[in-house]
Amino acid sequence: MTDQEKDAEKRLMVAKIYLKDFSFESPRSPSIFRQGDWKPQTNLNLRSAHTPVEDDHHEVVLTITIEAKEEDKTCFLVELQQAGLFEIAGYDDEELQAIVGSYCPNILFPYAREAIASIIQKGGFPEFVMQPINFDALYMQSKQQQVAAAAEVTEKH
């Protein structure tokens, strides 16, 4: 089989993009809207997970948690799971891991960013702009950490 024939068998399609879970809390409203300056500290936590579903379908879930605090008091908390069902076929394990660890989260991120910005604004807070995230770099960093952890385990034995 030639390389062209192998490449022709490779498939990568978005079957569905959907919200799996979404939560917004504003524990200090309405009093928070009566204060003057708005200068919260914002913490962003992000992770992705992959689950094979059936046949060549894979669910990838991008989880984003954003907490805005002033003086250690929560102003708002957003937790979102933006998910996608992807048809992925014809790739070896290493390619598959790169696709679900980098490519799929890149597809899901704009949907998550829009949903988060919208709910924060609907919650009465100023516009919240999430900066782009380099999922390729995060994936490579994760792979390097796995290699380092495996090397550390090997050294101990």
Residue ranges of domains in the chain, CATH in brackets:
3-132 (3.10.420.10)
Low-confidence stretches of the chain (pLDDT beneath 70): 1-8, 157
Interatomic CA distance for residues 15 and 83, integer angstroms: 11
d(CA 112, CA 102): 15
pLDDT at residue 137, as a whole number? 92
The whole-number pLDDT of residue 149 equals: 80
User: What are the DSSP E strand ranges found in the chain?
Assistant: 11-25, 41-54, 57-70, 73-89
CA–CA separation, 23 and 40 (whole Å): 19
pLDDT digits (tens, 9 = 90+) for 57-99: 999 999 999 999 998 899 999 999 999 999 999 999 999 999 9
At 145 the pLDDT is 85
pTM: 0.85
Using only C-alpha atoms, the chain has a radius of gyration, in whole angstroms, of 20
pLDDT at 35: 80
